[in-house]
Amino acid sequence: MSLHLHGILRDIFLIEYVMQINTFRFFLLGLLFSISLNGFASGEEKTGDEKFDPKEMIMHHVKDAHSFHLWDWDGHPVSISLPVILWTDNGLTTFMSSEFHHDNSGTHIVEKNGGKFVNLHEKIYQLNDGETSVAFDAEHHPTNAVKPYDFSITRNVFMMWVSVLVLLLIFIGAARRYKKSENFVPKGIASFVEPLIVFVRDEIAVPMIGEKTYKRYMPYLLTIFFFVWINNIFGLIPIINGANVSGNIAFTFTLALFTFIITTLVGNKNYWKHIFWMPGVPVPMKIFLMPIELIGMMVKPISLMIRLFANITAGHIIILALMSLIFVFKSVAVAPVSIAFALFITVIEIIVTAIQAYIFTVLSALYFGMATEEAEH
């Protein structure tokens, strides 16, 4: 119990520290967003030619996409084409995203497997039978098209696989180092990853879960720690722009779901008793606490999901917003300021990559520890 308390306290301190950074970041974020949008609004009034829309640019970078846009060359976008995999009424439909010809405004129609598909803001829509072009309602939602089940290898899936490849190279490479050296002395990459692995074991798993049972959860905790961390880091590399895997709510949702499933599966009698029939309080209180505890059970993974998503996405948005300032003000003079700020934020983001991976892992471990804690009071 004291171990858990200690861990929780430390976690609270850490979260508070992170929240201070976050407060600062969100303050900047709000400031910049308002400047950007105002700039955009005023720009719209003044000029009639093609305007720079920071919101669209930022959203384009932060959200998922069906192709991997690298750069514009001679007025044409250069991008890596990725496979589009759809489950429609006619069954599985696949084609390469290059067939949209970089269009994401829903004008270019791809006909495949008896269906007409358009790319509307990186969402694939299937036109209803007989339609030839997309019709929009007042809020720019398509009225004559439906969304098929989309299992495309998107930009994020692609980058996730790249990160998996890197992880496998690093850790299987490290593991082989141990086989080679007979006296288990870490060398090369192993000497780099071993402190991290030992950190996860000694600072996360053991204090949060307990000496007796922590071993069971080590593979999960290690995998989630490094998986989140490397995707956080990949999101910061500018050249692979928009690889915002860990800032995508689908990604964080899935990982939080795993933590929730494991917590639910390993939960012992004591854990469920604390949720449905809190010991040590009068019966009306027990009944009153039951729904609260039930909500708490759900809120834990949801907070995991939102925390990671919001932190990483906010970091991306803030850097992009800073860069947008140059284009909003249409002045090179803004560039040094923007770059200086973006550099500063990037440095904070580098710390945040590790902190968020750590927090995700710590909280997962804490939930496992709470679910498996034996009654002792």
Partner 1 sequence: MDLVTPGLGLVVWTGITFIILLIILRKFAWKPILGAVGEREDSIKNALLEADKARQEMENLKSDNEKILKEARAERDAMLKDAREMKNNVISEAKDEAKAQANKIIEQAKTSIQNEKLAAITDLKNQVADLSIGIAEKVLKEQLSNKDKQEKLVESMLNDVKLN
Q: Which residues form the interface with partner 1 (CB under 8 A)?
A: 59, 62-64, 85, 121, 123, 149-154, 156-157, 160-161, 164, 167-168, 171-172, 174-175, 178-179, 183-185, 190, 193-194, 197-198, 201, 218-220, 222-224, 227, 248-251, 253-255, 257-258, 309, 313
Closest distance of CB 349 from partner 1, Å: 18
Token couple for 20: 């201070």
CB 326 within 8 A of CB 335: yes
CA atoms in the 13 A half-sphere facing the CB of 95? 18
Closest distance of CB 35 from partner 1, Å: 20
Closest distance of CB 141 from partner 1, Å: 11
H/E element, 67: strand 67-73
Closest distance of CB 374 from partner 1, Å: 24
Closest distance of CB 76 from partner 1, Å: 27
CB 276 within 8 A of CB 290: yes
Distance, CA of 129 to CA of 157 (rounded, Å)? 30
Nearer to partner 1, 93 or 154 (CB): 154
Distance, CA of 159 to CA of 15 (rounded, Å)? 28
3-state secondary structure of 223: helix
Of the candidates 76, 51, 193, 68, which has an alpha carbon nearest to the alpha carbon of residue 122? 68
CB 167 within 8 A of CB 173: no
Distance, CA of 296 to CA of 44 (rounded, Å)? 47
Nearer to partner 1, 9 or 257 (CB): 257
Nearer to partner 1, 224 or 318 (CB): 224
Of the candidates 199, 250, 243, which has an alpha carbon nearest to the alpha carbon of residue 225? 199
Burial grade of 130 (CB within 10 A; 0-12, 13-18, 19 or more): exposed
Nearer to partner 1, 108 or 121 (CB): 121
Nearer to partner 1, 172 or 340 (CB): 172
Contacts of residue 197, defined as CB under 8 A and 6 or more positions apart, other chains included, come to 222
Closest distance of CB 253 from partner 1, Å: 4
Nearer to partner 1, 319 or 326 (CB): 319
Distance, CA of 20 to CA of 341 (rounded, Å)? 18
Closest distance of CB 186 from partner 1, Å: 8
Token couple for 70: 């690298």
CA 281 to each of CA 2, 39, 284, 293: distance values in angstroms, whole numbers, following the listed order:
22, 58, 8, 14
Q: Is the dihedral of CA 179, 182, 186, 188 positive or negative?
A: negative
Task: Tell which phi-psi region holds residue 210, choosing left (phi > 0), alpha (psi between -120 and 50) or beta.
Answer: left
Closest distance of CB 47 from partner 1, Å: 28
Closest distance of CB 3 from partner 1, Å: 20
Closest distance of CB 168 from partner 1, Å: 6
The residues that bridge with 123 in the sheet, in sequence order, are 120
Nearer to partner 1, 14 or 197 (CB): 197
Nearer to partner 1, 226 or 341 (CB): 226
Nearer to partner 1, 152 or 338 (CB): 152
